[in-house]
């Protein structure tokens, strides 16, 4: 009669306790987790453009070997968020002034189109959502600070993205904004900046609520700094160390 093999769980197995060890965790999955965490820190400015990225320090931080860290950084480099330079190491990628100008110009045009479509398709529900978003901005300006108002501002624009009823256009704007957000962290530092933003929001909202496509487009494009309108003021607030230097670019 054949002997039965002991199939009792291995007391040293992490799987039986619900904990997956670093060795048992899929390497690609760990690299993706690290990439996601670093990408959010880069896009939100917690890791400013030009910040050095040390594999050893990151491995210690995430409690992993250097292999998944290296894979995560390579993934970020493929997304143009990390720069890998021979003999110089790795750092958060900088955008050039002309790249920032081009992205902001694109965002301005897309935001104007989004406001136009929202005005074309406005209904009572969108009107109410815009009023609520305006109130949220006002509350954040009075009771909060830069971060609170930035969040309220993002919510105001998100209402318009959804109100345009063009998901493809909305996703294009969101993607472009994520690329540029780390260069826009000084937008709502002063009360004057916040007050101007609120006045602009009111003009944009009223044009959309009135169904005035032309006015909605114009007011939005005046509100969003583009490659020309408001770009000089934007640039004056930015340390030049955050920008990549291009040949022939001042």
Task: Encode pLDDT of 154-183 as tens digits.
Answer: 999 999 999 999 999 999 999 999 888 888
Contacts within 8 Å (CB) and 24+ apart, 188-193: 188/146, 188/149, 188/150, 188/153, 189/146, 189/237
Q: What pLDDT, on a 0 to 100 scale, did the predictor assign at position 90?
A: 95
CATH number assigned to the domain with residue range 96-244, chosen from the 4 options 1.20.1270.10, 2.60.130.10, 3.90.420.10, 1.20.120.530: 1.20.120.530
* Contact between 110 and 176 (Cβ < 8 Å): yes
Task: Encode pLDDT of 175-219 as tens digits.
Answer: 999 888 888 777 788 898 899 999 999 999 999 999 999 999 999
Cα distance between residue 146 and residue 138, in whole Å: 13
Q: What pLDDT, on a 0 to 100 scale, did the predictor assign at position 227?
A: 59
Cα distance between residue 98 and residue 96, in whole Å: 5
Q: What pLDDT, on a 0 to 100 scale, did the predictor assign at position 66?
A: 94
Question: Closest by alpha carbon to 244, among 108, 70, 72, 101?
Answer: 101
Degrees, nearest 5: CA angle 45-63-33: 55
Q: Is 136's pLDDT higher than 90? A: yes
* Contact between 90 and 52 (Cβ < 8 Å): yes
Give, for 96, the enclosing helix (H) or strand (E): strand 95-96
The larger pLDDT score, comparing residue 106 to residue 238, is at 106
pTM: 0.77
Task: Encode pLDDT of 7-40 as tens digits.
Answer: 444 444 433 333 344 444 555 689 999 999 999 9
Alpha helix ranges (H) inside the chain: 27-43, 55-62, 66-78, 97-120, 124-143, 146-163, 167-180, 191-209, 213-223, 231-236
Task: Encode pLDDT of 64-103 as tens digits.
Answer: 999 999 999 999 999 989 999 888 889 999 999 999 999 9
Is the fold of 25-93 the same as that of 96-244? no
Cα distance between residue 144 and residue 42, in whole Å: 24
**Other residues' Cβ atoms within 10 Å of the Cβ of residue 12:** 6
Q: For domain 25-93, say whether CATH 3.30.750.24 is its number.
A: no
Give, for 53, the enclosing helix (H) or strand (E): strand 52-53
What are the boundaries of each domain within the chain?
25-93, 96-244
């Amino acid at each position: 009669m054949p002997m039965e093999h002991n199939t009792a769980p291995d007391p040293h197995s992490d799987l039986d306790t619900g904990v997956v060890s670093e060795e048992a965790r899929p390497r690609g999955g760990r690299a993706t987790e690290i990439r996601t965490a670093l990408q959010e820190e880069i896009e939100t400015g917690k890791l400013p453009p030009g910040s050095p990225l040390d594999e050893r320090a990151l491995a210690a931080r995430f409690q992993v070997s250097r292999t998944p860290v290296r894979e995560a950084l390579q993934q970020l480099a493929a997304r143009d968020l990390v720069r890998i330079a021979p003999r110089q190491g790795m750092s958060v990628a900088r955008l050039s002034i002309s790249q920032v100008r081009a992205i902001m110009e694109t965002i301005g045009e897309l935001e104007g189109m989004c406001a136009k479509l929202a005005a074309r398709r406005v209904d009572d529900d969108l009107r109410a959502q815009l009023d609520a978003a305006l109130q949220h901005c006002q509350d954040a300006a009075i009771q909060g600070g830069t971060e609170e108002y930035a969040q309220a501002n993002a919510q105001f624009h998100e209402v318009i993205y959804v109100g345009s009823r063009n998901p493809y256009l909305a996703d294009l704007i969101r993607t472009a904004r994520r690329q540029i957000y780390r260069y826009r962290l000084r937008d709502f530092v002063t009360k004057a900046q916040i007050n101007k933003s609120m006045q602009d929001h009111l003009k944009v909202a009223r044009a959309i609520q009135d169904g005035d496509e032309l006015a909605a487009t114009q007011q939005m494009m005046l509100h969003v700094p583009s490659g020309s309108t408001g770009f000089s003021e934007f640039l004056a607030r930015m340390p030049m160390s955050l920008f990549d230097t291009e040949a022939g670019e001042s």
